[in-house]
Structure 1
Amino acid sequence: MTENPGELVAAAVERSLKLVVTWPAWDGQPRTSDDDRIYTPHKAVRRIADHLIDHLAEVEALLAGVPTQPDEWHASSITTAADLAPFTEEDVREAEQRLRRLGRTFVLRYAAVDPAEWDKDRSPNWTLRQIAEHLVELDWYAEQVGSL
């Protein structure tokens, strides 16, 4: 397979954004996921961006041949005051800009390396392709808020 795995990440971002554009209709009530974590529009955008940043940093470390930075995010376990703010059309525009840039960065980063690097064994870490395939599920965060 020679298709740039970064395209999978960009597609997951676009699936997420199809939901994000509906969120100005949010009623202010947090949603609870099946695993009892709380989600709001701002929190879902934050988690999508954080997840992309985390794995982009991992890709860069692996390509540089240095250890990855330990994941110390509080991730979905916290809901901040900012997560509870109303979600506006301006927030949609900001999310589109932020998330599309991150998704595009995956496409460009993967395109900048020899495709042989995508499947190179990097044990105990995932391959670059496996990282991109993992991010296919990125829209899970957006699905916790859903289409409003």
Structure 2
Amino acid sequence: MVDHVLAVAATWTAWDGKPAHVDDRMYTPHKAIRRVADHLVDHLAELEARLVGEEPQPDHWHASASTTEADCAPFTQEDLDEARSRLTRLARIWANRLGQLTEAQLDRSPGDGWSFRQLACHLTESTYYADAVGDLS
């Protein structure tokens, strides 16, 4: 998923500043990167809480329903470099964490919600945000 998002993001330095409207939402390059990173962090926090027997903390923000002023800024080469670094590290954290779980933990995860395997598969759908902006080459 991260490889796909970064491949599409590599075209976003050509963004003309016009948000993409998909369904009832608006997407920009910065918002797409933010949403992918937030999705990875949110579900990682859920996984870690459930592993230690805690209730996951709910988020109290508006996710993709909210578009900030910062989301509308030009997407520069420096932004792409930062996105590559951030998303690659988050993907590595996920791979490391999942690699330490047994098959039983992946499929019969503690607490309410999807199994950790289902959660990991769900994250592969985070390409939606990048695909909403699209390939701008």
- What do the CA deviations read for 1:46-88 (whole angstroms, capped 9, x no partner)? 0011111000001101111111111222101111110010000
- What do the CA deviations read for 1:106-141 (whole angstroms, capped 9, x no partner)? 100011222321011435311100100111101100
CA distance in structure 1 between the partners assigned to 2:129 and 2:6 by the alignment: 11
Paired amino acid for 1:88: T
Paired amino acid for 1:39: Y
Paired amino acid for 1:93: D
Aligned match of 2:59 = 71
In structure 2, relative to structure 1, the CA distance for the partners of 1:98 and 1:81 (3 Å cut) is same
Paired amino acid for 1:124: D
**What secondary structure sits across from 1:60 in the alignment?**
helix
**What secondary structure sits across from 1:147 in the alignment?**
coil
Give the aligned length: 136
Does structure 1 residue 139 correspond to structure 2 residue 90?
no
What is the aligned counterpart of 2:106 among 115, 118, 136? 118
Unpaired stretches in structure 2, ≥5 consecutive residues: none
CA distance in structure 1 between the partners assigned to 2:61 and 2:128 by the alignment: 18
Paired amino acid for 1:27: D
Q: Map of 1:96-111 to 2, 5 A cutoff?
A: 96-111=84-99
CA distance in structure 1 between the partners assigned to 2:31 and 2:130 by the alignment: 9
Aligned match of 1:87 = 75
CA distance in structure 1 between the partners assigned to 2:110 and 2:103 by the alignment: 15
Paired amino acid for 1:26: W
CA distance in structure 2 between the partners assigned to 1:79 and 1:30 by the alignment: 10
* TM-score relative to the length of structure 2: 0.95
